[in-house]
């Protein structure tokens, strides 16, 4: 079945450093979504990418969808302590079922 | 706008007991999802409803899990009997499609501990 892999599993940065998490799917995706889950909280929708090669920005966050629609990335510029949490990608493949990656847990040292 | 409501927030039971979770989605959201999130992992889809019909329940362990969404609004998820490996957070989400884009809104979840 469809698998979505995320790397790295953990990332620790100093405040002000950049952060990137990568997502790879075993199958071509119709779209990919990104969520943020704060410690003890629930996933919160960040963005959805649909088009091949699409790039979207939300303030310090930049999301990319690969040309082959099998990979994606989330880049945070100049991290802040408020960025702490686990970032999940979730891909929708041929079955139309949304499959989540295991997430990248980001910690930020002030 | 009120968010997705879930209850209870926490539940501790012994193995082989039964448990039920309740979800009230955002008003007007036709699609409702139940996910299981085991510690350190991403949410795993258990079942998806479109109004009161099941769209996908391929990952629902049907020998012990059941879910219903009567009248296409509230939903309940039941586990009977529970096993130790069912300890997890059970998340309910509802979604809205606008302009071809779907946005899922998650509830706070029910944390289940099976002893």
Q: For residue range A46-94, what is the model confidence (pLDDT) as tens digits?
A: 999 999 999 999 999 999 999 999 999 999 999 999 999 999 999 988 7
pLDDT given for residue A96 in this prediction: 74
pLDDT given for residue B1 in this prediction: 62
Closest CA in chain A for residue B42 = A102
pLDDT given for residue B13 in this prediction: 98
The residue among B42, B55, B111 with the most chain A CBs within 10 A of its CB, best to mutate, is: B42
Alpha-carbon dihedral sign for residues B77, A1, A45, A52: negative
pLDDT given for residue B107 in this prediction: 97
Q: Chain B partners of A3 at a C-beta cutoff of 8 Å?
A: none
What is the average pLDDT across A35-50? 95
CA distances from B111 to A41, A57, B86 (A): 11, 34, 10
pLDDT given for residue A55 in this prediction: 98
Taking alpha carbons only, the member of A49, A47, A41, A33 closest to residue A91 is A33
Q: Chain A partners of B41 at a C-beta cutoff of 8 Å?
A: 102-103
List the single residue in B42, B100, B103 with the smallest CB-CB distance to A101: B42
Residue positions counted in chain B: 115
Chain mean pLDDT for chain B: 94
Chain mean pLDDT for chain A: 95
In B38-87 the beta strands, taken as DSSP E runs, fall at 44-50, 53-56, 65-68, 75-79
CA dist., res. A100 & res. A33, Å (int): 9
Listed as ranges, residues in chain B with pLDDT below 70 are 1
């Amino acid at each position: 079945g469809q698998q979505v892999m995320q790397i790295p599993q953990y990332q620790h940065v100093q405040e002000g450093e950049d952060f990137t998490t990568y997502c790879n799917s075993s199958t071509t995706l119709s779209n990919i979504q990104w969520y943020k889950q704060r410690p003890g909280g629930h996933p919160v929708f960040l963005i959805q990418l649909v088009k091949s090669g699409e790039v979207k920005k939300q303030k310090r966050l930049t999301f990319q969808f690969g040309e082959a629609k099998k990979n994606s990335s989330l880049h945070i510029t100049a991290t802040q302590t408020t960025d702490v949490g686990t970032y999940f990608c979730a891909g929708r493949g041929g079955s139309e079922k949304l499959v989540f990656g295991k997430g990248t847990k980001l910690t930020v040292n002030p | 706008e009120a968010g997705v409501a879930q209850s209870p927030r926490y539940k501790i039971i012994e193995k082989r007991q039964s448990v039920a979770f309740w979800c009230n989605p955002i008003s007007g959201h036709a699609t409702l999802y139940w996910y299981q999130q085991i510690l350190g992992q991403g949410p795993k889809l258990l079942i998806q409803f479109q109004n009161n019909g099941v769209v996908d329940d391929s990952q629902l362990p049907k020998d012990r899990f059941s879910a219903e969404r009567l009248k296409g609004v509230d939903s309940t998820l039941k586990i009977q009997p529970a096993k130790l490996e069912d300890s997890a957070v059970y998340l309910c989400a509802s979604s809205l499609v606008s302009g071809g884009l779907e946005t899922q809104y998650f509830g706070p979840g029910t944390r289940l501990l099976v002893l």
